Structure 1
Amino acid sequence: MNLQYNQAYPGIDDLRRKAKSKIPRFAFEYLDGGCNEDVNLHRNTEELRDVQLNPYYLNGHEGSNMTVELFGKTYQAPFGVAPVGLQGLIWPNSPKILAKAAYEHQVPFILSTVSTSSIEEIAKITNGDFWFQLYHPAEEKLRDDIIRRLKEVGCKVLVILSDVPTFGFRPRDIRNGLAMPPRMTLKNIVQTIGRPHWALQTLMHGTPNFATMQPYMPKGLDMKQLGAFMDRTFSGRLSMERIAAIRHQWDGKLVIKGIATPEDAQLAINLGADGIIVSNHGGRQLDSAESAIASLKNLVSFKDQIKIMMDSGIRSGADVARALAVGADFTFLGRTFMYSTAALGNEGGQHAMAILKRQLKQVMEQVNCSQVSELHRHLIR
């Protein structure tokens, strides 16, 4: 795979700045912000970057291999694309751009229930080689039909979201009219006019919508009715009974995302989950929570019983190395891929994949680490 990237944007901060200049403020703040006062948003990355690695310069080294075996499949890097809701609002067509890049780079792409491309569209791009994150519906009939669709397209990994029992309190989104129900204010219209490239691309690709949910929506909903429909449809809180019901009918790999405590990790194991993603929803749900890397440190003792993955706060290849050194089997990034796509459009997915691989490999070679599974030996405890 070609790892050439746009040298005008060699760092993730470069991509973030470019994205901010290209998309309307309401879209950027939806992507970039956390909840309440953004305390946990910043804590995630700050505490992750406190992790330090030991380099061993005098040992022989024959190269670094980034491949990872996960759920019976070999991936070409230990990171994937995390699920992001309303991706098409941030940049038109972005779920397809990122799914294509992930497939070509042989890393996993997770489609969110509330993203803007459908199960079937992403399955076509990836030949069914993608993961799906389920926001548990209030009605079992809807849940079962989504699972049926996943089976029909060959999806092998189902991720159940556990950390959204209620919508996070996000002041920016409320001010910008992106709460439920959403609304387009005069301020948002002015912001859109000031971003003509984004506006033109949005016009070409159509208004973003919850594509996977389209078959279940009544026709002709206005914005207020759409908000009420989504709020009513996803009012269901995850429970042990609901997880058990999904485990009974899903014969693929089952992952629970949003785990932060040993108690929930043990329950996930007891319920037959194959993996957990240690996550606090990127700091978007509970501002008073601990950082994802702090949670991970308390959960690595379960590694012999279940696959332990992590997202939240990971921005770069060096951050990926830090999380793996602490004990994650695999990692996912959300904002990084969206910054790149908003900054560079159709080339954004490829650029982010290339830069993350280059960054991670540089760290591994610098510390004299041959395999991803050996990064823990370099952790300064």
Structure 2
Amino acid sequence: MSKKLSLNTNYPSISDLRERAKKKIPKFAFEYLDGGCNEDVNLHKNTAEIRDVELLPYYLSKHTGSNMKTNLFGQTYDAPFGIAPVGLQGLMWPNSPEILAKAAFEHNIPFILSTVTTSSIERVAEITEGKAWFQLYHPAENSLRDDIIKRADAAECPVLVILCDVPTFGFRPRDIRNGLAMPPKMNIKNIIQVFGRPHWALQTLKYGQPNFQTLKPYMPKNLDLKQLGKFMDQTFSGRLNEEKIKPIRDMWKGKLVLKGVANEADAEKAIKLGLDGVIVSNHGGRQLDAGESTIKPLSRIAEKYGDKITVMMDSGLRSGPDVARSLASGAAFTFMGRSFMYGVSALGKKGGDHTISLLKTELQQVMEQICCEKIEDFPAHLIKK
């Protein structure tokens, strides 16, 4: 049975949730969530260029109703969107990965857990009854890679996502100013900001200082912040290539997805390597300010390879109409990260439920308005330019 939609009418848009989140969490946490890299050019271009896409309504068509259920990798989801992996979620709102995983499970949409977020594979698998996906941040050592993959398999994660768009850390001026680069540091400005956000501070006391729960078994005890930075640098090698992907494909028997694809050449390599899907993404505009927005390569990749591999998309989506535009442009499925973090940062434990309900309501309205009966019909409503 589908989860009943629950909307807080004080926050009827993602932008309302963003404004509320800005007032609820410390500035350093909000800027970590909200910012892109360099001058934020691609951050803003992502959403703007999605919104250049226009849809064609057919008002006199026979319409028997709209259904947003979506089949993906043998699973039927209640909507064509899921929750993207986000690092350090507990920094933005305490316990947020568990809040969002629970909401995703109840609404029957996928939740992707990041290697570098603040809840463990095992805990999220427990909350979602083994339905959560896992995103692997590629370790430098094969033994660590293999152990993490075995844990994801034991937790019955149906989909493993491997990340290719972080060969180097993005240059993010806000995070540098706020001491959230590696190694992070808590400066006097940040401490003052915490005192100005008592609800966030109390929740942080309740759930404890955020840390990398999935990585905890591999970390030396009592690391200080400088040692943590060194550990992360030594432990992970973000640069993927075909030689690194092949043993993962051999080892992982479930569905395997490559996230961060931004061109046709990489999509073609993913197909040749036997992957099941790609997520066209530019890491939310946090890695390459001089790159394309996601909607442009999405359209090209879906047109060329959509019949050979499942083509999905994230980065820049902020609403139900944005999801509709992306589906019309060729995406089989979409993911959002910031939108859900704005929701949980604004509304705490009710934020995941509200944000999913909001996006479902918006998308349903678009489908009814343009007379689109099922998700697969969206491309027929695309106005080509």
Q: Distance in 2 between matches of 1:15 and 1:379?
A: 29
Which stretch has the larger CA shift, 52-61 or 233-242?
A: 233-242
CA distance in 2, matches of 1:22, 1:271: 45
Give runs of ≥4 in structure 1 deviating > 2 Å: none
Corresponding residue of 2:159: 157
* Whole-Å separation in 2 of the counterparts to 1:4 and 1:90: 23
**Partner residue, 1:353:** 356
- Name the amino acid aligned to 1:122: V
Percent identity reads 66
3-state SS of the aligned residue for 1:305? coil
Whether the aligned pair in 1 keeps the contact of 2:168 and 2:238 (CA below 8 Å) is no
**Structure 2: how far apart are the matches of 1:99 and 1:230?**
25
The equivalent position to 1:103 in structure 2, one of 83, 105, 118, is 105
Give the alignment partner of residue 203 of structure 2, picking from 201, 204, 227. Answer: 201
Where does the alignment leave 5 or more consecutive residues of structure 2 unmatched? none
RMSD: 0.5
Within 5 Å, give how 1:1-381 maps onto structure 2: 1-300=3-302, 301-381=304-384
Q: Distance in 1 between matches of 2:307 and 2:379?
A: 15
Question: Aligned to 2:229, what secondary structure does the other structure show?
Answer: helix
CA distance in 2, matches of 1:366, 1:236: 43
> Deviation at 1:236?
4.5
Report the residue type matching 2:86 in the other structure. V
Query: C-alpha distance in 2, partners of 1:264/1:4?
Result: 40
Distance 1:378 1:236 in 2: 38
How far off is 1:227 after superposition? 1.1
> Any conservation in 1 of the 2:164–2:238 contact (CA below 8 Å)?
no
The answer on whether the counterparts of 2:166 and 2:238 sit within 8 Å (CA) in structure 1 is: no
**Is 270-279 or 150-159 further displaced after alignment?**
150-159
In structure 1, distance between residues paired with 2:237 and 2:382: 42
**How much has 1:4 moved relative to structure 2?**
2.2
With over 3 angstroms needed to count, the CA separation of the structure-2 counterparts of 1:236 and 1:34, relative to structure 1, is closer
What letter is aligned with 1:317? G
CA distance in 2, matches of 1:29, 1:150: 31
The letter for the 2-side match of 1:344 is: L
**Aligned equivalents of 2:26 and 2:234: distance in 1?**
29
Distance 2:73 2:63 in 1: 29
Deviation at 1:295, TM superposition (A): 1.1
Distance 2:101 2:194 in 1: 26
Alpha-carbon deviations, 1:36-85, whole Å to 9, x = none? 00000000000000000011001111110000100001000000000000
TM-score by length of 2: 0.98
Aligned equivalents of 2:238 and 2:61: distance in 1?
54
Letter in 1 for 2:366: V
Q: Secondary structure at the match of 1:298?
A: helix
Q: Which runs of 5+ in 1 are unaligned?
A: none
User: Could you tell me how far apart the structure 2 residues matched to 1:173 and 1:295 are?
Assistant: 28
